[in-house]
Structure 1
Amino acid sequence: MGRGNHVMKLRLALVVLAIGLASVSCSTKSKDSAGSNRVSESELARPGPGRSWQDYTAPSRNGYSDRVFFAYDRFDLDEGAEATIRAWSEWLRAHRDASILVEGHADERGTREYNLGLGAKRATAIRDMLIALGVNAGRIRTVSYGKERPAVAGDDESAFQQNRRGVARPSTGGA
């Protein structure tokens, strides 16, 4: 009986060891697993699905907003615009059922046709960055309003600066 008891204890120890190893392997990530399976510190700090777009893009809270601005006659993104678009991409990745409409706008200088084209290039630049940051292209729509929908009325540089913009309009429930 002593030998049978010893075998039973050995089997029990092996089962406990196997369960322990299985639980440890489930709780740690493999170092050679794909980068998309890793959870970084920035992802842990990222806002979850419970926060609204308005909460996340409120300028008074974190410096981000629902719009980015462009230099005169340009559609390239500066560092401030890139930081804002990164925030949009994080929100979109946390809200997988959401889609976004990116509007491109221009100031009133130039012809209607030229400004519609410039607004389209601005919206496309934003769209391209969102895609590069991991947002599915099917969730992004673009539209150009050119100079047709100014944010600020006026004939001075201050008004022009506010009107040279890209605006993000999210919606939930898919594209």
Structure 2
Amino acid sequence: MMTALPASTLRLSAALGVSLLLTSCGTIPIPSVLGKSAPETVVYALGPREGYTSPLSTSLKPACPALVFDDGGFLLTDSHQEALSRVAKETLVANKKARLLIAGYTPPNLPADHARSLSERRALAVRQHLIGLGFEAANLQTVGFGNDFSPTGPSSDVVVIYQQ
């Protein structure tokens, strides 16, 4: 005669099974392609939209001086808002459909996950303000590099706006 297990025991067993399955995925070997192992490279995803150049490219030029943030902060200051107003006036007059890439960075002393999240929040705050100044949302792309960036990139608490 079988006895029914309480629902909490079943949920715990299922959760334990899923966690064991997920942790074992890290040890699954990745097969090589055509006898060659895949090179380890860092890939930055800039979103689904086409036509954006990576900020790792040296051909991109900043649209304005970098916006410097306080340690740990992501709210825009009055000086940030003034700089963004100048960017909007100069850029939108020249081209109503201007495309901008907004890249956030943090210094190397932060944990990687926190740095990536903070840099993305900063970039999104800048994007939201630019939308309020008249930019089309579809023409503004953000990326938060955190402290994982190219050797020639900024290594401090800044957001850089690149004109595409």
Q: What interval of TM-score do these two structures reach, taking the shorter chain for normalisation? A: 0.5 to 0.7
CA shift digits 1:64-123 (9 cap, x unpaired): x33101000000111111111111111231112420000011112221111000000000
Distance 1:97 1:137 in 2: 10
In proportion to residue count, which structure has more helix? 1
Structure 2 gap segments, 5+ residues each: 1-60
Asked if 1:166 is matched to 2:162, the reply is no
> Under a length normalisation based on structure 2, what TM-score does the superposition of the two structures give?
0.56
Asked if 1:93 is matched to 2:72, the reply is no
Q: Kindly indicate whether the alpha-carbon contact (under 8 Å) linking 2:103 and 2:159 is maintained by their aligned counterparts in 1.
A: yes
- SS of residue in 2 equivalent to 1:85: helix
Give, as a single letter, the amino acid of the residue that structure 2 aligns with 1:71.
Answer: D
Aligned twin of 2:154: 151
Aligned twin of 2:129: 129
Highest relative contact order (Cα 8 Å, sep 6+), 1 or 2?
2
Give, as a single letter, the amino acid of the residue that structure 2 aligns with 1:70.
Answer: F
Distance 2:135 2:90 in 1: 10
Give, as a single letter, the amino acid of the residue that structure 2 aligns with 1:131.
Answer: I
Distance 2:75 2:83 in 1: 14
CA shift digits 1:116-167 (9 cap, x unpaired): 0000000000000000111110110000110123525xxxxxxxxxx10000
Give, as a single letter, the amino acid of the residue that structure 1 aligns with 2:67.
Answer: V
Q: Kindly indicate whether the alpha-carbon contact (under 8 Å) linking 1:92 and 1:135 is maintained by their aligned counterparts in 2.
A: no
Size of the aligned set, in residue pairs, is 100
